[in-house]
Amino acid sequence: MPFYYRLGDIPAKRHTQFRKPDGSLYAEELVSTEGFSSIYSLVYHCHPPTLVKQIGEPIDKTPVAFYEKNLQNRSFLTFKTAPTADYIESRKILLYNNDVYLTAAAPTESMKYFYKNADSDEVIFVHEGTGKFKSLYGTIDFEYGDYIVIPRGTIYKLEFDTPNNRLFITESFSPIRPPKRYINTYGQLLEHSPYCERDIKLPHSLETHDEKGEFLVMIKKQDSIWPYTLASHPFDAIGWDGFQYPYGFSIHNYEPITGRVHMPPPIHQTFEGHNFVICSFVPRLYDYHPQSIPAPYNHSNVDSDEVLYYVDGDFMSRKHVERGMISLHPKGIPHGPHPGTVEKSIGAKETKELAVMIDPFYPLKITKEAVEMEDVNYYKSWVE
């Protein structure tokens, strides 16, 4: 959420001398975007962030398509993903294209190293688990229903409270931002926006680790993981300020937009990247026209695939929905409510559904990991 924020100690003027108690200089770092032309933050380190002791051999993590092309409505049961201790190993890319990767993860242990995605902004949706997201910018406490939005280049570590964790991760090769229609020319969220700045979970409790030694940072770049050993602790900031930093937002704080008749999916939009959007389906009152049909109408996505990640609750338009289930409806093929659900929805007053939807504007490829957890008969589920 790009609005100005600061933590810790910073000098009165940028790019000027800022000294430690012993008289030596703190190391200033500009974290910039789009060259020097967009939002940025200034960070003040105890040690220069350039102290690299060793670089290991890269580990290939390139996603491999089982289906390069797809024209079938599909469903994947992500809770079949076996829990894995290591965070990186737990991340299984299921669907992807040149704009976005969609990943399921079930890590059981806190990270023993640091991690940085140098290519992509990440949005981690916390389906199960609690803990702390730690970075150079401070701490964000997370829990069920939280989105953690992490700008590319952010070194972070996840500390989980229990071994039972389920994450749905979006990797975006473009910046993640709120929809433009929610923001005024000054960058403030408007009155009609379904959330506001008060809902944002900002980093807090800046911990300055003035430490030297050996610190392993696993850096993702061009589908490889590069092991970097730094000579100083990555979280050594004494202070920072600016517009570029990670933040959290709870899906439970999304305020639904309702109407007299069925409202289209853009009312659920929460974030956007280049060529895709992220939406939040939350508990809400149904339409209140006396002749309204709450169940969504049949529709054909002619410009985008549709991915729905089911979190919790009862979906009146779907049968046999499970927690952690993903439905993929490719552009070119219509989909809609399952048989019997339209009549059943008439007269209903509210829904308790909770889901994350991602609409990519270009077709998604399907990995072997996704196929291994597929409900192969899903495409037949509209036949009586």
Whether pLDDT at 319 is above 80 = no
**Are the beta carbons of 124 and 101 closer than 8 angstroms?**
no
Return phi, psi of residue 235, to 5°: -105, 60
Task: Please name which of 282, 381, 281, 384 lies closest in space to residue 75, comparing C-alpha atoms.
Answer: 381
Residues 124 and 203 in one domain: yes
Residues 212 and 322 in one domain: no
Return phi, psi of residue 363, to 5°: -60, 145
> pLDDT of 213-251, one tens digit each?
999 999 999 999 999 999 999 999 999 999 999 999 999
Whether pLDDT at 90 is above 90 = yes
> Which of 118-127, 219-228, 294-303 is predicted with the least confidence, judged by mean pLDDT?
294-303
Residues 126 and 189 in one domain: yes
Number of domains making up the chain = 2
Q: For the domain that residue 297 is a member of, what is the CATH number?
A: 2.60.120.10
**Are the beta carbons of 79 and 323 closer than 8 angstroms?**
yes
Which of 251, 278, 311 terminates a domain? The answer is 251
Give pLDDT, residue 1: 63
**Banded model confidence at residue 2, pLDDT cuts 50, 70, 90:** confident
> Which of 15-24, 68-77, 296-305 is predicted with the least confidence, judged by mean pLDDT?
296-305
Residues 262 and 373 in one domain: yes
Residues 350 and 208 in one domain: no
Give pLDDT, residue 81: 84
Q: Pairing relation of β-strands 114-117 and 212-221?
A: parallel
Residue 282: inside a domain: yes
Residues 93 and 150 in one domain: yes
Residues 133 and 197 in one domain: yes
Whether pLDDT at 130 is above 70 = yes
Residue 75: inside a domain: no
Residues 232 and 283 in one domain: no
**Banded model confidence at residue 44, pLDDT cuts 50, 70, 90:** very high
Give pLDDT, residue 338: 87
> Around Cβ 48, how many Cβ atoms within 10 Å?
14
User: What is 206-237 written as a DSSP string?
Assistant: ------EEEEEEEEEETTEEEEEEEEE-S--E
Residues 99 and 222 in one domain: yes
**Are the beta carbons of 226 and 242 closer than 8 angstroms?**
no
Whether pLDDT at 318 is above 70 = no
Residues 106 and 198 in one domain: yes
Residues 202 and 58 in one domain: yes
> Which of 261-270, 280-289, 340-349, 363-372 is predicted with the least confidence, judged by mean pLDDT?
340-349
Residues 92 and 202 in one domain: yes
**Banded model confidence at residue 301, pLDDT cuts 50, 70, 90:** confident
**Containing domain of residue 113, as a range?**
50-63+82-236+246-251
Give the predicted TM-score (pTM) of the model.
0.96
Whether pLDDT at 32 is above 80 = yes
Query: If you average pLDDT over every residue of the chain, what do you get?
Result: 95
Residue 18: inside a domain: no
